[in-house]
Amino acid sequence: MTDKGRLLAWARDQWTRGLPAFEGARISGTLPLEVSLVNELLDAALADMAEARDTPSPDATTEGQAQVGRDLPRLARMVRRLRVQADAGVITVEFEVGSAE
């Protein structure tokens, strides 16, 4: 399934159709992150948002970039639980995401 982009095509098809292969699935985990990494991620996210804001139209962006903005509300609806804790230079993100049941 991974040859010649078939996995990516399958994943895009699943996303477009509302993730039917994952219906009812739940993923949870804990990510301990160094503060410096969180800062890098925030910097990158802010730069991406500024770039998207400065782009005249979705037609001027690549398909993937144009798709991200439209997919954020769908992704946000999949978040079941999110907790962030900061201790001694480490930020811990606990999460659970899942598709509709």
pLDDT in tens, 9-63: 888 888 888 888 888 888 888 888 888 888 888 888 788 777 766 665 555 445 5
pTM for the predicted model, two decimal places: 0.47
CATH number, position 53: 3.30.1070
Answer yes or no: is 68 within a domain.
yes
Answer yes or no: is 67 within a domain.
yes
pLDDT in tens, 63-74: 555 555 567 677
pLDDT in tens, 66-99: 555 567 677 777 888 888 888 887 888 888 888 7
**Range of the structural domain that residue 69 is part of:** 25-98
The count of structural domains within the chain is 1
DSSP 20-88: GGGTT-EEEEEEEEEHHHHHHHHHHHHHHHHHHHH-S-GGGS-HHHHHHHHHHHHHHHHEEEEEEEEET
